[in-house]
Structure 1
Amino acid sequence: MKKAVLIPVAILVIAIGVALGIWLFVGGAGWLMEKQQSEFEAGSTIVAEGPLKAYATGALAKLETHAAPRPIEDISFLDGEGKTVKLSDFKGRVVVLNVWATWCAPCKVEMPTLANLQKGYDPQKVLVLPLSIDKAEDKAAVEKELKLSGGLPVYMDSEIQPMSKWGIVGMPTTIILDKNGQEVARLGGEAKWDAPEVKALLDALAK
């Protein structure tokens, strides 16, 4: 009789232990993700230095500028027609390289301002390049979002290369490339890209 009572008790203790372990794991993971996202949005490691430091103000207050241009790894991705293009194909113009996804709410909020920014420039001189990391099967959703936001061109990298090759830890992240195809600044998080501060920065780079 005692054995019959002990077995259910043992099972109950094990079940409670497993449930507690899962709760701690999920809760801890959730806390860590929230902490990382908060740090990303707050820009806790932002450093503005070099000749573009003065532009890190107003809408670009979270802009990280570099002491000198930095090389960025050349990757291949697809354009709206499914053709393979490389980042280096856009050398010769200033590039506002925006890494985004349709499931990223802040990305969708800032996209219309990026579209407005492009309207003020010849894309052969200053190009806004929205690079989606959505899955290939979600191309229709990407096209729809870009059309609703102002008609920017479609570029997709379903391999999610920017995270590992460009050191991106959250989205949206926007990288500014000079005419030599080198990174001169980046901004993690949402921004108002059609603000006067942005135009001043791009005009300086496009000279």
Structure 2
Amino acid sequence: MNGQSEARPGPSLFRWALWGVAAFGVAAVVYIIVQASTNPDANRGLRAFAKGEMAALQTPAEPRPAPVTTIYDPEGQPLRLNAFQGEVVVLNLWATWCPPCVAEMPTLAALAAHYEGQPVRVLAVSIDRPDDVDRARAFIAQHAPLEFYSDPNMKLAFDLVPPAPGMPTTVIYGADGVERARLSGGADWGGADAIALVDHVLAAD
């Protein structure tokens, strides 16, 4: 031995290393949870009905209740999605500045007409700014039997788990208020593929 003490890492270095390992572990767990929650093959029973334009449907691996975000009804009164518990809810987030949203709205109106008198609610929620609400309301008025619901603060899109990646986003909730599936992007909601999907959710509830 040469009498000199061997250099060792100080306690602060060990502390930073432990924090780094812990942070990596937390990030990995969060990644796994997010991936599982949007796994498109998690619900094989429902996935069997996801044909054609519904093939891009995502189904959650774990139950996800509807967020408690406040939206506004056709009279401008506040309400939450749990007000529709007992009905299958097809929630569509849209805006007048979103061309795919505008293009698919007639098909959502057709879906709503198909289920009139049944416990199915097609809920088109506008995220237009307050300055554009009148234009959005007039647009929905052209697509009966849809009614005008709004989220002028754009909170609902971010309160979904995971948040909506863009517009339009459509989420299907069972009568228990739990998310069954969602679809990002435009689709033909009045077609046979969409009706078969909603029929399956309706029968399961």
Q: Which residue of 1 aligns with 2:172?
A: 176
Q: Give the superposition deviation at 1:122.
A: 2.7
Q: Which residue of 2 aligns with 1:87?
A: 81
Moved over 6 A (4+): none
CA distance in 1: counterparts of 2:94 and 2:111, whole angstroms:
16
| TM-score, with structure 1 as normaliser | 0.74
Q: Give the superposition deviation at 1:180.
A: 0.5
Q: Give the superposition deviation at 1:59.
A: 2.0
Unmatched runs of 5 consecutive residues or more in structure 1: 1-44
Indicate conservation of the 8 Å contact 1:100/1:130, yes or no.
yes
Q: Which residue of 2 aligns with 1:153?
A: 147
CA distance in 2: counterparts of 1:59 and 1:162, whole angstroms:
24
CA deviation map 1:104-152 (0-9, x unaligned): 0000000000000110113650010001111123221111111223441
Q: Kindly tell me: are residues 52 and 140 of structure 1, through their superposed partners in 2, closer, same or farther at Cα, counting changes over 3 Å?
A: same
CA deviation map 1:55-100 (0-9, x unaligned): 2221201111234532232111111111111111011000000000
Q: Match for 2:137 among 117, 133, 143? A: 143
| TM-score, with structure 2 as normaliser | 0.75
CA distance in 2: counterparts of 1:73 and 1:93, whole angstroms:
16
AA of the residue aligned to 1:146: I
The aligned runs of 1:124-139 (5 Å cut-off) are: 125-139=119-133
Structure having the higher strand fraction is 1
Percent of aligned pairs sharing the same letter? 40
Number of residue equivalences: 163
Q: State whether structure 2 residue 127 is matched by structure 1 residue 114.
A: no
Unmatched runs of 5 consecutive residues or more in structure 2: 1-37
Q: Give the superposition deviation at 1:185.
A: 0.2
Root-mean-square deviation over aligned CA pairs? 1.6
